[in-house]
Structure 1
Amino acid sequence: MQKTTRAITLSVLMGAAVLVTTGCAVVRDQQSVGSYVDDSAITTAVKAKMAEDKSVSATAISVETLKGTVQLSGFAKSQAEKDRAESIARNTKNVRAVQNSIVVRP
């Protein structure tokens, strides 16, 4: 119960931080305000799931979303961690595709 509450709180705070720091920074012809908000929600959901999963270092992996496509980057300690991060992203609601650019550190 406490983990769920913590994950929800983290999700809300991350979402609010994204909206506050970027405002409505939508560039013409890039994406609409609605899709920008949807992408922010996807990013927040992926990061929250990673924070809950002990096998993935949420702080070492960056998540960005554009038009439903999630871009993962950063560093993983193993191929299993890289694969798990991709699996988490793919299994998040409204994700259309995942580009996994995570580098496995030797």
Structure 2
Amino acid sequence: MLKLQRILRLLVCAGLVTTSFGCASTRTHESPGEYVDNTVITTKVKAAIFNESSLKTMQISVKTYKDEVQLSGFVDSAESVAKAGEIARRVPGVGSVKNNLLVK
């Protein structure tokens, strides 16, 4: 009976360690919580860019990974590139902005 309890304790401990590491983020993967947070940031940045009348019709794609926002796509002027980057930086939760917008 004592041996069975020790084995059960070992299995429970192993299960707890495995599940806690299963949700941790790594350099190349996000945890589920980080994924949700980044989705919220992406949505907020897209909304902020869309609400800017000078950028509303531009082809701007927004992606977020570990609080870094990446802007890509095409705009009509260098001012639009700068404006989109500025708007993205002002959104709460954005750690940094990688502005890859191109002027067409």
Please give the alpha-carbon distance, in whole angstroms, between the structure 1 residues aligned to 2:76 and 2:56.
Answer: 9
Q: Deviations over 1:9-38 (max 9, x none)?
A: xxxxxxxxxxxxxxxxx9x84010000000
Cα deviation for residue 57 of structure 1 reads 3.5
RMSD: 1.7
Residue 58 of structure 1: CA displacement?
A: 5.7
CA shift for structure 1 position 59: 5.0
Is the aligned partner of 1:104 residue 2:91?
Answer: no
Gaps of 5+ in 2: 1-22
> Which residue in the other structure is 1:32 paired with?
31
In the other structure, the counterpart of 2:43 is 44
| 2:74/2:102 contact within 8 Å kept | yes
1:54 counterpart SS class? coil
Bigger radius of gyration, 1 or 2? 2
Report the alpha carbon displacement of residue 99 of structure 1 after superposing the two structures with TM: 0.3
TM-score (norm 1): 0.70
Pair 1:86 & 2:85 matched: yes
Count of matched residue positions in the alignment of Structure 1 and Structure 2 = 79
Partner AA of 1:35 in structure 2: E
Q: Which runs of 4+ in 1 moved over 4 A?
A: none
